[in-house]
Amino acid sequence: MNRKLVAGGVLALGLLGFALAGPAVAPYDPNRQDLGAIRVAPVWMGGGWRHPLGTDSLGRDVLSRLLWGARVALVVAAASAAGSAVIGVPVALVAGYARGRVDRWLMRLVDVWMSIPAVLLAVALMAVLGLGLWKVVLAIVVVDWTRFARVVRGEVLALREREFVEAARAVGLPAGRVIVEELLPNLWPLLVVLTSLEMAIAVGVEALLSFVGLGVQASVPSWGAMIAEGRGYLMVGWWGMGLPMVALVLAVVGFNLVGDGLREWLDPRLRTAA
């Protein structure tokens, strides 16, 4: 049994469950303010079951905001990983299969893009684009597509020399069919692993952007925005900052464990070594 895959799967499925069921089971509207219940402690610290995880500085229910924030995290993770793959994988396939001048020009573009600090580029893009969930996704895709391009291109270079690819070219298959029918199916294990790891990165980037006020709108609950808001009241209400931090860490660790577990499970050499 792959313990990393199991543990990561449990955390990832938990995030999925909270994202899907959260709005239906959340006890309150996440933006509902109750100024008579400001910074109520969680139930295990003497608070009541009316607010099991306490409230923040505006009297908003922390549990409800965490559940709604899970939906934001999942949407950003899934959409960003898919968008990065849609751009990066075709670039990698063309560069790795064509080689020569095409490969050099495309990889120089990737190198230049990757030389720009990712966080700085994401912040700059959000400053230009403005606030919004899908603008956050766009910023992450623009920054991170190069990761897919670089990693997948290396695998394409190795697969291109395999016998089944040479046989396909020998029988006269055009380059497009060789790429789609021979190379792409053999890349799925790598793409699955890269996607899960990219989802972990996207969750962290979204939280960072929301933390500095360049993520989703203020009316949309986000773990990063909750951490930023709770930071000012850390000494009198740590749960406003601590609980979303725990949720963020668990989500990132979960996706990373899924990626590591899938890599070990799908790679016979790592599976044998384990």
Three-point CA angle 213, 214, 216, nearest 5°: 90
Report the distance separating Cα 226 and Cα 240, nearest Å: 7
Residue 269 is predicted with a pLDDT of 57
Q: Please, are residues 221 and 31 in contact by the beta-carbon 8 Å criterion?
A: yes
Rounded mean pLDDT, 82-93: 95
**What are the residues whose beta carbons fall under 8 Å from the beta carbon of 219, sequence distance 6 or more?**
31
Considering the domain 3-273, what is its CATH architecture?
Orthogonal Bundle (1.10)
Of 129-143, 184-198, 260-274, the least confident: 260-274
Residue 242 is predicted with a pLDDT of 94
Report the distance separating Cα 34 and Cα 37, nearest Å: 5
What is the Cβ-side half-sphere exposure of residue 222, based on CA atoms within 13 angstroms? Answer: 29
Residue type, 45: M
Rounded mean pLDDT, 177-198: 90
3-state secondary structure of 218: coil
Rounded mean pLDDT, 148-175: 89
Residue 119 is predicted with a pLDDT of 84
Phi and psi at residue 46, to the nearest 5°: 105, -5
Residue 168 is predicted with a pLDDT of 87
3-state secondary structure of 225: helix
pLDDT in tens, 31-62: 999 888 899 999 999 888 999 999 999 999 99
Given a cut of 70, is residue 197 above it in pLDDT?
Answer: yes
Q: Domain spans of the chain? A: 3-273
Rounded mean pLDDT, 167-189: 88
Residue 78 is predicted with a pLDDT of 95
